[in-house]
Chains A and B, each alone.
Chain A
Amino acid sequence: MMGPSSSHGPGVSSPSPSGDAPTGPDASSPSPLLRDHGERDGPPLLRWLLGLFLVPVGILLALGLKGAAGSRDPRIPDLIAKHLPETGVSNPVTGVLLNFRGYDTLLEIAVLVAAMVAVWSLDRGQRHFGLPASASASGGAGGGRPFLSAILRLAVPTAFLTAVYLTWMGSSEPAGAFQAGALLAGAGVLLSVAGVLRPLTAAALPVRIVAAGGVAGFVVTGIAVLPFTGAFLAYPEGWAYPLILGLEAALAVAVAVILVELFVDVPSIPAHDAALDAVDPYGDPLGRALAPDPSPADPEAP
Chain B
Amino acid sequence: MTSLDLYVWAGVVVFLLALHAVVTRAHLLWKVLAINLMGTGVFLILLAAPARRDPMVADPLPQGMVLTGIVVAVAATALALGMALRVMARTGSPFLTVDPETEEPDPDAPEPPR
**Known contacts A50-B23, A77-B61; A32 and B4 CB within 8 A of each other:** no
List B contacts of A36 (CB < 8 A).
Answer: 25, 27, 29-30, 94
Judged by a CB distance under 8 angstroms, whether A105 is at the interface is yes
**Could you tell me how many residues of chain B have their Cβ less than 8 Å away from some Cβ of chain A?**
62
Question: Are B95 and A40 in touch, CB under 8 angstroms?
Answer: yes
Question: Are A111 and B67 in touch, CB under 8 angstroms?
Answer: no
Judged by a CB distance under 8 angstroms, whether A154 is at the interface is no
Question: Are A11 and B110 in touch, CB under 8 angstroms?
Answer: yes
**Known contacts A74-B53, A108-B68; A62 and B12 CB within 8 A of each other:** yes
Q: Mark B76-101, 1 if CB is under 8 A from A, else 0.
A: 10110111011011101111000000
Question: Are B48 and A269 in touch, CB under 8 angstroms?
Answer: no
List B contacts of A255 (CB < 8 A).
Answer: 71
List A contacts of B23 (CB < 8 A).
Answer: 42, 50
- Among A10, A76, A122, A262, contact of B110 (Cβ-Cβ < 8 Å): A10
Judged by a CB distance under 8 angstroms, whether A227 is at the interface is no
- Considering the chains assembled together, what is the distance between the CA atoms of A143 and B68 in angstroms? 38
List B contacts of A47 (CB < 8 A).
Answer: 20, 24
- Among A54, A105, A116, A293, contact of B19 (Cβ-Cβ < 8 Å): A54
- Among B19, B26, B68, B82, contact of A104 (Cβ-Cβ < 8 Å): B68
Question: Are B82 and A119 in touch, CB under 8 angstroms?
Answer: yes
**Count class of interface residues, chain A:** 35 or more
Question: Are B26 and A41 in touch, CB under 8 angstroms?
Answer: yes
Question: Are B61 and A115 in touch, CB under 8 angstroms?
Answer: no
CB proximity of A10 to chain B, nearest CB, Å: 6
- Considering the chains assembled together, what is the distance between the CA atoms of A62 and B14 in angstroms? 12
Question: Are B92 and A9 in touch, CB under 8 angstroms?
Answer: yes
Question: Are A301 and B9 in touch, CB under 8 angstroms?
Answer: no
Q: Mark A239-274, 1 if CB is under 8 A from B, else 0.
A: 000000000000000010011001100111111000
CB proximity of B30 to chain A, nearest CB, Å: 7
Judged by a CB distance under 8 angstroms, whether B38 is at the interface is no
- Considering the chains assembled together, what is the distance between the CA atoms of A7 and B27 in angstroms? 25
Question: Are B20 and A76 in touch, CB under 8 angstroms?
Answer: no
Judged by a CB distance under 8 angstroms, whether A46 is at the interface is yes
CB proximity of A68 to chain B, nearest CB, Å: 8
List A contacts of B92 (CB < 8 A).
Answer: 9, 32, 271
Write the residues of chain B forming the contact surface with A, with a CB cutoff of 8 angstroms: 4-5, 8-9, 11-13, 15-16, 19-20, 23-27, 29-30, 45, 48-53, 57-61, 63-65, 67-68, 71-72, 74-76, 78-79, 81-83, 85-86, 88-90, 92-95, 106, 108-114
Write the residues of chain A forming the contact surface with B, with a CB cutoff of 8 angstroms: 8-12, 14, 16-17, 23, 32-36, 38, 40-42, 46-47, 50-51, 54, 57-58, 61-62, 65-66, 68-70, 72-77, 80, 92-93, 95-97, 101, 104-105, 108, 111-112, 114-116, 118-119, 122-123, 178, 255, 258-259, 262-263, 266-271, 289, 293, 297-298, 301-302
| Interchain Cβ contacts under 8 Å between A and B, 6 examples | A10-B110, A32-B88, A36-B25, A66-B8, A76-B51, A96-B64
